Every structure is written in C-alpha cells, then in structure tokens.
Structure 1
Amino acid sequence: MTTTPVWSVDPRTGKQREQVAVEATPQEVDEAVRNAHAARGALADAPARAAFLRTAADLLDGAAAHVVEAADAETALGPGRLTGELARTTGQLRAFADAVEDGSHLDIRIDRADASLSPPRPELRRYKVPLGVVAVYAASNFPLAFSVPGGDTASALAAGCPVVVKAHPDHPATSELCASLLRRAAVASGLPADVVSVVHGFDAGLALIRHPLVSAAGFTGSIRGGRALFDAAAARPVPIPFHGELGSLNPVVVTPAAAVERAEEIGSGLAGSVTLGVGQFCVKPGLVLVPEGPAGDRLTNALTKALGETEPGVLLDHRMRENFIAGVGERAALAGVEAPVTPGSGGEHTVGAGYLTVAAERLLGSAPGGEYEVLLEECFGPVTVVVRYADQREAGAVLGRLGGNLSATLQLSAAETEGAPGPASELIGQVTELAGRIVVNGWPTGVAVAPAQHHGGPYPAATSHSTSVGGTAIERWLRPVAYQSVPDALLPPELREANPLGLPRRVTEAAGAAGS
C-alpha cells in the first residue's frame, strides 16, 4: 500500500525538517474512531475525567520547553507567544476539570408531579448526556490552544466525549507530541489511551466527518474549508452538529468624538492589534471606519508611523504568504484604494505589514457582490482596510454591507461611554446584530478564557450559535434527555432523589408543597 509522508516544515526557510507521520488511510481512520467509540464508557467516570484533564495539563507544563521548541520550529510564532499560548492551553484543561467536578453543565432540572395543574404535570427529571465521538479539526494559527490539546478537545473530553483530532499540516510534530502527552495522561488516570487520537491528511479529514460513529465536530479555519466540512456533516445519512469557526472581518468603528479625543492612541493601538501574531489572529481588526477630517488624519498618521516601523514577519506557511501577497495586491489595484503603508512581501520568506484606505462613498457606490466586495472579506495577515466616512449614515451603511463577525469594536469618547441616548447607543445596537463579542475602547485580539466569554457569531463567523472559548463551550457536545415518571432506582445517579453525587439542580415543587 502506498503511503503519503507527513513532513514538518520550517516556515522561516520553507524547508522540510523531518518526516513526522504518514497520512491516515480510510482503514486507519475507521480504527481510530471505533477505538474512541469503545472508550466512551470509561469517560462516564467523572472523577477520572477531571483527573485526566488535570494530569494532561501537568504533563504539558512539565514538557513546556520541548512543546514550545517544537511549535516554534513549525510556526515561527516565537517562544514568548507560544509560552503564553501553552499557559492558556493548560489553563483551559484545568478549568474544564473544575467544570466536570462542579456539574452545573449538566443543567439538572426536576419538576415535581402536580395533578392540580391543567393539564396535570408528571414527574420530570432532565439533564444532559454526551453526544459520542467528537471530530476536532485543528487550527493553523494556534498550534496548542486551538489544536490537539486545545479548547475543542478539552471541552469535548470534559463532556465525556472521546476525541479524534485531524492534525493541521502546519504543525504535525507539535500535534504528535501533544497527543502523546494526552494519551499518557489518560492511561495515568485509569482511562484508555484511545480517548484521544490523531490522524493526518486531507482525505483523513473527509473520512472522519463522514464516519457513522462520529457524533459531532469542531473546526477552526477558513470559510472555504469549514463550509465544505459543514456541508459534508449535513449531507450524511444521519447529519451531525458541526461547530465551525470560519472567518471574520472584525470591524472597528471610531466615532468623530473619539478621534478628536485620542486619535494617536487609537492609531497606535490599532497597529498593535493588526500586527499581533503577524496578523494571524482570527479576531484581527480587518476593517476600520475612521471619520474624515483633521482628527481622522491624525489617527491615520499614527497608524502609518506605527506600521512603518513594524519589522517584517514570517507567516505560518509559504502558501499563506503567497495568498496574503496576492490578496493585498488585488485589493490595492482597485480604483480609489490607496496604500499609505504598502503591505506585501517583506523578503524571501517574510511579509511586511501595512494598510489600505478607501472612501466610504466609493465602497458604497459599488454594487454588492462586485469587485469592491473583496474589501469586505478577511485577508489573513498583517493588513487592515481603513474606510473614511463622512457621517454616521455612511458608517452605518458600510456596516450594513457586512456579514457575521466574531467581534465588533467601538472606539468612543469619554462622554459617549456615559450611556446617554445618541449615536453610540445606536452603534451598539447595530453591531450587536453583526457580532458575537462587542468591544468598547479596547481591541479584539486577546480572547480571555472566562465563563462569560463568547467566541462565535453569525455566519460566516461561525456555523452555529455556540462558543469555542469559555465555560459554555462544553454545551456543544451534550444533548438533553428528560425522564418522565421513572422510578428512582432506575434513574441515572445524577437525577436520583438523594442526589448521591451532590450536583447542583433546579427543582420546581408542586403547588402547595412545603417550602414552595
């Protein structure tokens, strides 16, 4: 049988480093999924799940130097960035271990029987159960936090779902290393190693989404790739949930008052957000609405200065570099589009940061779907498009041309943040329809891992209304089941009257019952 090697490549040189694995055959994908499916019963042990997640975090931390070195060699993201990402990754694992022990994600609800109601209410007890095997598609730009040991994997395991990860080709060695640590952690916690496994290869990714024992999937990547997998998930004989984070422009609106008040601060802050991680964050601000006039000029002058002083950087792979150069070239060639700092090639293996600018009037004068529509699409890399608007009507019209986004940012003046009715409150309402996270007087890059976080949004930012970051990410891998008039001895332990597991629950008593 012919095998296709999987190589680790150095993005700083474009040269192959080492052969890491071979692409999985359909038979190997089938074996991985079946082994994962067989491990479901072991994951039903909540204390073992929590111990597993914490042990995985400890092993990753213990191997930090090796993990960071492997990831940097394959992504060029740098030890500082990757050290922080590893801390985020292990923090996620520990947070989901806490969630397993807390049990509130099970959303236990008990309604006592009440014959006095019309119609009468039977005894009902409801909680959530794991879906089954989850396919995770690793991201290119986060080799740790959104890949093999990342949030999709951690939340699925916390829910009690085994995981098969389709590794990203940009960091296969890092993926294999992290997978080995997670499998060691499983065994050390008394669980089968096959609660986590990794496969490589484009065809393996398709075989995975189509496998009849895969019950759900999580994805972070491009609109094109994510939509193809989403369609495949929906076309199965038994469709499955596909939670995809696809692409986002992450618009920023700078009000005239904010520009007058702190133009230079906003311009330099924007440059930092656009170039963070060489512009390879999914929440990079890709479209910025700036008012015309002297204050807007001060802002763009600060942006020009900051971006002009930014050193060229290395993208995750040479294909992305080529796409970035082609993408900014296509945009810059449009009539009326200027490049105060020209983005594009920064050398044989690097790219230079920059920005493009266009009048809102020019953009709005073009037909939807026409050649200027490319300015309203994500360009992966260190570039943003500044749209100069004359008034709030023009700014609102530009926002009205956008699809769904992960984030939307408003830069407001001190007076506008006081909440009086006016343009700022109207903008909040408009961007709430566009995005899953609204930021005021900050920048969207840097997504805190917290219980209240939401990392998702209307399509095409995501294919579902769930989040891939934060405590509620676990909800993607669970489904509710209600038990009606089931004798206590036959109920799952989580729902029994004595609450032997000590789980939080919401109880609705019958009318007239003691304590109601």
Structure 2
Amino acid sequence: MNSIQPVLIAGEWRQANHPVGTFQALNPSTGQVLDETYPISGKEDIYAAIESAYQAADTLASTSPESIATFLEQFADLIEANRVALVDSAHCETGLPKEPRLNSVELPRTTKQLRLGAKAARESSWTHPIIDTASNIRSFRAPLSAPVVVFGPNNFPFAFNAVAGGDFTAALVARNPVIAKANPGHPGTTRLLAELATQALQSTGLPVDTLQLLYHFPNELALELVSHPHIGATGFTGSRPAGLALKAAADRVGKPIYLELSSVNPIFILPGALEERLDALVAEFVTSCLMGAGQFCTNPGLIILPEGPQAEAFVRAVSGQFKEKTPGVLLNERVQTGLGESMKALTAHGAELLTGGTPVNEAGFRFANTLLRVSGEQFLRESEALQTEAFGPSSLLVLAKDEDQILEIAHRLEGSLTGAIYSHTGNVDNAFYTRLEHVLRQHVGRLLNDKMPTGVEVSPAMQHGGPFPSTGHAGFTSVGLPAAIERFTILQSYDNVRPHRLPRELQDANPDRIWRVVDGKWTRDDVTGA
C-alpha cells in the first residue's frame, strides 16, 4: 500500500493520528484510481487542528496588515512559479482542461484574488471605522480572534480551494487562522497549495499554525468542527444537504456559517430578443450551458421563453447542437449519479426529455448533453420539483403562453445566484422588462442583461451570493473584495475608551490614511478638535 500523505497541523506535516480510514482520488477522464493515499482524519486530528489554530488567533489578530499583504503576495508568486505542477495535478484529479480553463483562466484568477486581498489588507478601509466625537463612541470591523473553517468545493480546484481560494483569502485579510478542509476530489492539488502557503508563512514570519489542512473526515466530525466553541466562522461551498446539516449544527450554538448551496440561474428571453437575434442567443446559451460540462454554480439551468414559432426554432436549434457536441468530463461519479437522479425527478413531474438524459458509456465519467422542456402551466403546477438542480450539462426550457404567465413563473422562483433577461436592443421589450425585472430582482443575487451568467468576475462590485437556497444568507458575497472579508469579522464598539487604548484604526491620528466615517463624513484626515 502507498504511504499515507501527511496532514498539516501546528505548522508540521505529520502522519494523521489514528485515522478512521483512507481514500484515493480518481482520474475522472479515465476512472482510474490515482496513486496517492490520504487519511480520513478522526477526532484527534480535528481537535488538534482546532487548538493549534485557536492558539494562533490572537497573534494573527494583532499582526500588521503589511505582514498579511506580504504573505498573500508571496503565496501568489509561488503559485505562479509552480503553475506547471499545479495545473498537471488539477487536470489529473478533476478532468478539467489545462488550456484555457486551468492554466490561463482559473489559476490567474486565483492569484488575482490573493493580490487583491493584499491590497485590501494594506488599505484597511474594509474595517469601516466609524467615529462619533460628540458621544466618543467608535466602532470598526475586527478579526474574529478565532479560526475560520473553509470547505472547498469540487469544481474549482484553485479559485475556490480551501487553500488559496476566495474564502481563504478573505479570512486571512481579516487576520484569522484557517482550518482548510480539502475536497476529496482534488486532495493532491490542495496539498501542493498548502506546501506553497507554508513556504510563504515561514518567509514572512506569520505564525506557522495560521493554516491547518485536513483532507477528509466523517460527517459527524464535520458537525462537531463547525459548532466547536473555539471556531469563529465557517465558509462552505457544496451540496445543499451537506450545507444545511452544517448550518443546523452551527446555528444551534450561534456560530456564523456562510453557505453556497445550489442554483438554477433562470434566463428569461423576451419576444423582441428572439425575433432580433435568435441564432446568436442559441450560440450563447449552448456555449454557457455546456462549458466545463455544465459544472458551474452559475450554469443556466432554467430558460423561460414565450411560446410560438421563434421559441420552437430556438428549441430545435439548441437540441441539435446538444446532440452534436461531445459531452465533457464530469468531476466524479457522484456528479454523474446526481444527474441521473435529477433527470428522474424532473421527468416524473412533467418535463419532456428532448435529448440526452443518460450517462455516456465510456471510460471515466460523462453524461450526455441534456435538454428538457415543459409548458408554463406544468411548471406552475410543479414549480418546486421542476427547480431541482441538475449539476452538469443540462437545462430545462419553460415555454410560457403570455406575459402574465412569465411573471407568475418569476414569482415562483427559488433564490438563485444569478438571473438574466435578454431583450430587444431597441425599445420593443422595455415595458415588459420593467415589470419582469421588478419581480426577478428579488430572487437573484446578480441580475444580468443580455449576458449568460457563467463566469464570475473578481470585482469589488460582485455579488456571488443570493437568496436561499443559493446561499444561506443573501446579505453576503463569497467573491469580490473587500465585501467578502466582512463575513469573517466582528463589529466592535468602543464607548468612552481612553485614546491610548483604542485600536489603531480608531485613534484620532490616521497615519495609514484609512477611509473612515467621522461625524457622518467620509474622510482620510486625522480627527481634530475632538
């Protein structure tokens, strides 16, 4: 048997203590088991990681923003210097293409996030200092002084990785230690990232136990972890059942947990758009839906069109292209199985299968590009079941009879990360757009016009969140700095505290030129005449 890969606890790469089992990742392109063996950690490792990270929390909370920024930049440099090994590993473990996806898109996005985190750390305006001189009350966003647990998803081995991804970056900028739970789909890639992060920690002098890495553990220990008294918060990206179980455990003890769960991302195509540019709409939708074998949290899974000749032409064209295009590689067997279960649920509640609907009988894990349709009437009768997420190369077309029915469908939508409206480039659809936008806006975190939702720009204005069940709380984003940092902070107020005892951000002097609200006005100036 291959030697078992070590875990990272207290700054040391060591063998797991009394693991409850082992696992090996699979190459999803071939279905073959990969060589490396990883431990399934038991309670000893879980509690050792918690205590180690907790011991580092106070030190990290008082660390200078410059030290955090330097670490994030050095980590980004090391990722780029080791990109060949990282891309090779991620490709082998996920089946995602090296080019352009991993090497030219996702890895640069990851290093961009880290460098934007460094910039936010230096600026520190994300702490939102507020100073009321009349009452001598001051407040700001402070570190949790406790570890943040990060659960990495399977579909983004770099950009959402528990080590190096957006949650990791936000937690570190907020000056909190991270306990990283690798996704078992790409443990080797996560280990490589953790090795590079450890190098950057050592060279910048941050506490060695700023980062702990565990690969896998039983579900009951995950519940103990997120609800432990020494845990400050949790970031989770994954399935709805797993996320809700973690949320229930965290909620029972009042621990913050931020979830990204599931999303059908509805697309409304209005009559004027169909009349004006049907072929372009077909091309955009097919590209978006089948990109990465449909394994994006923003994949367009629900398309609402007005019934008629143009809609039927759209259906025929999309169905033909779905049949022609080669199905992509799925991340693992669970995705393949889950797609089959989703097809059963959708067709059992009235959806008609137009093409696909079954696994591809080849080596590795693939599923036929799948298109379904349903009438607006049937969707309204079974709206909950027909919003079952089908994670993969699949989408459901809903053909509505008129504008009123389209609006009623919009009212019935569950919360999604994104929603889009395609309309005529002139004024043809403007009146109905206004009515539809008013309804749809309440059901999606990010509203798009004339644009498919796949792809999440790393922008300060990005909302990668949305109403339940897309996330557990619509008021937060997991992408976009500095907004994403706030999840891993605590609001602290100081009432009549002596000046020399105030945190640096709240003192009268402002040598770092942080943007602060002083007596109701944004300023970078020192407080004078207080």
Which runs of 5 or more residues in structure 2 are unaligned? Answer: 1-17, 522-526
Question: TM-score, normalized by length of structure 1?
Answer: 0.92
**Matching residue within 113, 126, 136 for 2:139:** 126
Q: Classify the secondary structure of the residue corresponding to 2:24.
A: strand
Distance 1:404 1:495 in 2: 38
Aligned position for 1:101: 122
In 2 relative to 1, CA 417–315 (structure 1 residues): closer, same or farther, beyond 3 Å? farther
2:378 aligned with 1:358: no
Q: Check the 8 A contact 2:272/2:428 in 1, yes or no.
A: no
**Matching residue within 140, 146, 170 for 2:154:** 140
Aligned position for 2:452: 443
Aligned position for 2:93: 74
**Matching residue within 476, 496, 516 for 1:466:** 476
**Matching residue within 396, 401, 407 for 1:385:** 396
Distance 2:452 2:496 in 1: 52
Distance 1:67 1:222 in 2: 25
What are the residue-to-residue correspondences of 1:167-316 with 2, within 5 Å?
167-203=182-218, 204-236=221-253, 239-316=254-331
**Matching residue within 47, 51, 60 for 2:66:** 47
Distance 1:88 1:191 in 2: 24
**Matching residue within 433, 437, 440 for 2:442:** 433
Aligned position for 2:359: 345
Identity score, percent = 34
Aligned position for 2:8: none
Q: Check the 8 A contact 1:6/1:23 in 2, yes or no.
A: yes
Distance 2:47 2:87 in 1: 31
Distance 1:323 1:234 in 2: 28
Aligned position for 1:500: 511
- RMSD of aligned alpha carbons: 2.0
Q: Classify the secondary structure of the residue corresponding to 1:191.
A: coil
Q: Classify the secondary structure of the residue corresponding to 1:60.
A: helix
Aligned position for 2:432: 423
Distance 1:145 1:268 in 2: 27
Distance 1:259 1:53 in 2: 47
**1:125-151 Cα distance to aligned partner (Å, 9 max, x none):** 211111121000111111111112100
User: Which amino acid counterpart does residue 309 of structure 1 have in structure 2?
Assistant: E
Q: Check the 8 A contact 2:120/2:126 in 1, yes or no.
A: yes
Distance 1:198 1:6 in 2: 16
User: Which amino acid counterpart does residue 212 of structure 1 have in structure 2?
Assistant: P
Distance 2:302 2:82 in 1: 39
Distance 1:49 1:11 in 2: 37
User: Which amino acid counterpart does residue 158 of structure 2 have in structure 1?
Assistant: L
Alpha-carbon shift at residue 509 of structure 1 (Å): 7.6
Bigger CA drift: 321-330 or 245-254?
321-330
Alpha-carbon shift at residue 417 of structure 1 (Å): 8.4
Q: Check the 8 A contact 1:264/1:298 in 2, yes or no.
A: no
Bigger CA drift: 487-496 or 439-448?
487-496
Q: Check the 8 A contact 2:260/2:470 in 1, yes or no.
A: yes
Q: Check the 8 A contact 2:223/2:250 in 1, yes or no.
A: no
Aligned position for 2:425: 414
Alpha-carbon shift at residue 416 of structure 1 (Å): 4.1
Aligned position for 1:15: 32
Aligned position for 1:59: 78
User: Which amino acid counterpart does residue 432 of structure 1 have in structure 2?
Assistant: R
User: Which amino acid counterpart does residue 428 of structure 1 have in structure 2?
Assistant: E
Distance 1:416 1:310 in 2: 35
Q: Check the 8 A contact 1:8/1:171 in 2, yes or no.
A: yes
Alpha-carbon shift at residue 91 of structure 1 (Å): 0.5
**1:339-383 Cα distance to aligned partner (Å, 9 max, x none):** 33223222233211120011112222x256xxxx43212111100
Q: Check the 8 A contact 2:349/2:382 in 1, yes or no.
A: no
In 2 relative to 1, CA 382–95 (structure 1 residues): closer, same or farther, beyond 3 Å? same
User: Which amino acid counterpart does residue 467 of structure 2 have in structure 1?
Assistant: P
User: Which amino acid counterpart does residue 437 of structure 2 have in structure 1?
Assistant: I
Q: Check the 8 A contact 2:349/2:385 in 1, yes or no.
A: no
Q: Check the 8 A contact 1:493/1:501 in 2, yes or no.
A: no
**Matching residue within 27, 45, 54 for 2:44:** 27
Alpha-carbon shift at residue 507 of structure 1 (Å): 1.1
Distance 2:57 2:348 in 1: 54
Aligned position for 2:524: none
Distance 2:391 2:459 in 1: 26
Distance 1:462 1:359 in 2: 28
Aligned position for 1:118: none
2:489 aligned with 1:478: yes
Q: Check the 8 A contact 1:166/1:205 in 2, yes or no.
A: no
Distance 2:479 2:152 in 1: 14
Q: Check the 8 A contact 1:361/1:389 in 2, yes or no.
A: yes
Aligned position for 1:397: 408
Distance 1:59 1:275 in 2: 32
- State the number of aligned residues: 496
**1:258-281 Cα distance to aligned partner (Å, 9 max, x none):** 111111111121111111110110
Q: Classify the secondary structure of the residue corresponding to 1:259.
A: helix
Which runs of 5 or more residues in structure 1 are unaligned? Answer: 114-121
Q: Check the 8 A contact 1:23/1:201 in 2, yes or no.
A: yes
User: Which amino acid counterpart does residue 70 of structure 2 have in structure 1?
Assistant: A
User: Which amino acid counterpart does residue 110 of structure 2 have in structure 1?
Assistant: T
Question: TM-score, normalized by length of structure 2?
Answer: 0.90
Alpha-carbon shift at residue 213 of structure 1 (Å): 0.7
Distance 2:186 2:382 in 1: 41
Alpha-carbon shift at residue 334 of structure 1 (Å): 4.6
Distance 2:291 2:88 in 1: 20
Distance 2:37 2:57 in 1: 29
Q: Check the 8 A contact 1:405/1:435 in 2, yes or no.
A: yes
Distance 2:319 2:297 in 1: 23
User: Which amino acid counterpart does residue 459 of structure 2 have in structure 1?
Assistant: A
Distance 2:140 2:89 in 1: 41
Distance 1:51 1:293 in 2: 59
Q: Check the 8 A contact 2:65/2:124 in 1, yes or no.
A: no
